[in-house]
Structure 1
Amino acid sequence: MHRVRAPFKIIARHNSSLVDYYKLFPKTFPKGSPPNSPFSVDLKQLRKEFRLLQSTNHPDLNRIKDETAGDLSSLLNNAYTVLSSPLKRSQYLLKKNANIDLNNDSVNKKFQFQDQSVLMEILNVHEDLEDIQSEQELAKLEHENDERIEKSIAKLEELYKTEDYEAIALETVKLKFWENIKNALKEWESGKPVNLTH
């Protein structure tokens, strides 16, 4: 019979928004969240620890009579999804550490319009998207956007060391735009309008 480890019983009963996702994966994050550990994540190690925890705490594999196993399994899924995505990870850390909720439209807009040069760059990229005529142009824009995403993640890595949450929020908003552009490029079809979500 598999048993849920004691610390997880306590965690699973609490609201998942109050739980420190980093503490759920102590092997991957022995020092906890940034700035004590890097912003970047060893995805292979995280996936390995996630699978191990799921295998010992999944409700279908557990004979626990209460809802603890189901709560924990759901919590682990949410934590894994958030921590494995640089964008979601940064949004989570901002909310947890600085009470900046970029999923709140008014908060997000505050940072969207803070740097006019970023806004101009985004508008220019959007125009480029609308002007794509061939697969070669698409590949070029995908490459350029992948570079923007990598730069943004590298900048977040440095910013989390300083705990400058205003700058982190601005960079996270930029990363969200680049991720939205990445999704729009994936869905590109010749002759169809480009749909960008903000």
Structure 2
Amino acid sequence: MNLDFTSIPQNGWSVDPAALKRAWRLKMAVTHPDRMVGRSDKEQQIGAQQSALINRAYETLLNPLPRAHYLLERHNAPEVSESDSLEDPELLMEVMELRERLEEAESEEEAAEVRADNAKLLEATVETLAQAFGQSPPDLETARQAAVQLRYWTNIEKAAREWSPGKRVELQH
């Protein structure tokens, strides 16, 4: 079965979420485990595997960080690992300041402000990825650096979403 989602450009970054969802639904209509009832165990197993692959592809392409990792891998760029860190001291300071603000937040409003400030940084990084992957050939070094940054902004976003008074802020990089 071809798992290629036709709404995804071969070398680009842009994804039309509505087109992606339509492609996902069409493929899931064929492979969803509920559609396999009454079929042989082997057919059910294959359907379940295909369904899992389609779901993974959908989530990867829908979310910027896994999409960046996927595209870098597709272009044989060095893998972005958990041990990769920000090399730009200004960016590192920005990460640390956002984390500190989140740790010191005493209200939902203060946590929401951190989340809003972080959203701007996240959006700018996604735009950097779009530009890097949009070049011909793609600027893989810029894309790789942006993917590392995106991991930090994504982790801050998650911590800000999960923030609650008195709860320790845990960022995973």
**Which residue of the other structure, out of 58, 61, 80, is the alignment partner of 2:32?**
58
What TM-score do the two structures reach when normalised by structure 1?
0.77
Contact 1:98 1:165 in 2 (8 A): no
Contact 1:82 1:88 in 2 (8 A): yes
**Which residue of structure 1 aligns with residue 20 of structure 2?**
46
Contact 1:91 1:172 in 2 (8 A): yes
Contact 2:86 2:148 in 1 (8 A): no
**Which residue of structure 2 aligns with residue 34 of structure 1?**
11
- The reply to whether residue 24 of structure 1 matches residue 4 of structure 2 is yes
**Which residue of structure 1 aligns with residue 123 of structure 2?**
150
Query: Residues 119 and 52 from structure 1, CA distance in 2 versus in 1: closer, same or farther, beyond 3 angstroms?
Result: same
Q: Report deviation, 1:76.
A: 0.5
Write out per-residue CA displacement over residues 81-108 of structure 1, whole angstroms, 9 at most, x where no aligned residue.
1011011100111122124222x34xx4
Query: Percent identity, aligned pairs only?
Result: 32
Query: Structure 1: 5+ residue runs without aligned partners?
Result: 1-7, 12-22
What TM-score do the two structures reach when normalised by structure 2?
0.87
Query: Residues 138 and 56 from structure 1, CA distance in 2 versus in 1: closer, same or farther, beyond 3 angstroms?
Result: same
Write out per-residue CA displacement over residues 13-34 of structure 1, whole angstroms, 9 at most, x where no aligned residue.
xxxxxxxxxx6212x23xx422
Greater displacement, 134-143 / 74-83: 134-143
Matches within 5 A, 1:168-183: 168-183=143-158
Query: Structure 2: 5+ residue runs without aligned partners?
Result: none
Matches within 5 A, 1:34-113: 34-35=11-12, 39-62=13-36, 63=39, 65-66=42-43, 67-102=45-80, 104-105=81-82, 108-109=83-84, 112-113=85-86
Contact 1:134 1:190 in 2 (8 A): yes
Contact 2:86 2:149 in 1 (8 A): no
Q: Report deviation, 1:70.
A: 2.4
Query: Residues 196 and 68 from structure 1, CA distance in 2 versus in 1: closer, same or farther, beyond 3 angstroms?
Result: same
| Residues matched between the structures, number | 167
Question: What is the distance in 1 between the residues matched to 2:27 and 2:122?
Answer: 30
